[in-house]
Amino acid sequence: MPRSDAPGRVPPANRLLAALPPREYDRLLPHLEAVPLLMRAVLCEPGQPLTHVHFPCGGLLSLLSPPGGKGLGIEVGLVGREGMAGLAVFLGAEAAPFRCVVQVPGEALRMRAEHFRDRVRRDSQLHGLLLRYTHAFLAEAGQSVACNTLHPVDQRLCRWLLTVQGRVGADRFPLTHEFLAAMLGVRRASVSEAARGLRQAGLIRYGRGHLTVLDRQGLEGTACNCHRLIQQEFDRLPG
């Protein structure tokens, strides 16, 4: 019997689930639970067993490499409606290598790890979709490493804001300079200076812990080519 709290039979907002044939989605449906993604909630810690996988339907998750001491860590990946958090389960691992934190609140469909392992087999459509998503995710991670090494902070900031806006599907989202500095792996003063330049150029508005993208085309013109290369990989995903 389906769970009483399972999502109804409506097309899911998550792109991976939406791309599934109806019969396969129906087999997963009894094991999918709609859950809120609360701001700054930690979904998993590195080294701890993964109990669930999450398919975001709104909001945004950050995967963070934990710091040696205090602090948030450095962002190594973003997961929104295009993907799934918990790829380690799909790849056969038991524990998460990164901390997963809710960056932008929303909601997700989650599944227990054991149910996921039982139902997402090699012959399933979702298995193939997740292989393609894993490729795009790794391509983004690799390109981001190159970007963070080679390009100035203002270009990296534009790339990151474009990515967040696209994954969230909204122009306005919560953001602090402290959190953004941790995401980019730079000093807070460097982020403040770069954000001030974008604000003076009329590309963004920032205040009271929220940032609004005013001119996406302008951000694209300022960003490095890394954003386009990363976006090409995710544009190849179904949905």
What is the span of the domain harbouring residue 206? Answer: 152-223
- Model confidence, pTM: 0.91
In a domain, 1, yes or no: no
The neighbouring-strand residues paired with 63 are: 77, 100
In a domain, 4, yes or no: no
Indicate if 117 and 190 belong to the same structural domain. no
How high is the pLDDT of residue 52?
Answer: 97
Return the CATH number at 177. 1.10.10.10
Task: Work out the burial of residue 142: count CB atoms within 10 Å of its CB; fewer than 13 is exposed, 13-18 middle, 19 or more buried.
Answer: exposed
All residues at 6 or more sequence positions from 195 whose CB lies less than 8 Å from its CB, including other chains: 157, 177, 180, 204, 206, 211
Task: Tell me which residues of the chain have a pLDDT lower than 50.
Answer: 1-5
Q: How many domains does the chain have?
A: 2
Q: What would the pLDDT profile of 183-195 be if each residue is shown by its tens digit? A: 788 888 998 899 9
How high is the pLDDT of residue 62?
Answer: 93
Q: Is the dihedral of CA 146, 151, 153, 156 positive or negative?
A: negative
- Residue pair 44/115 in contact (Cβ under 8 Å)? The answer is no
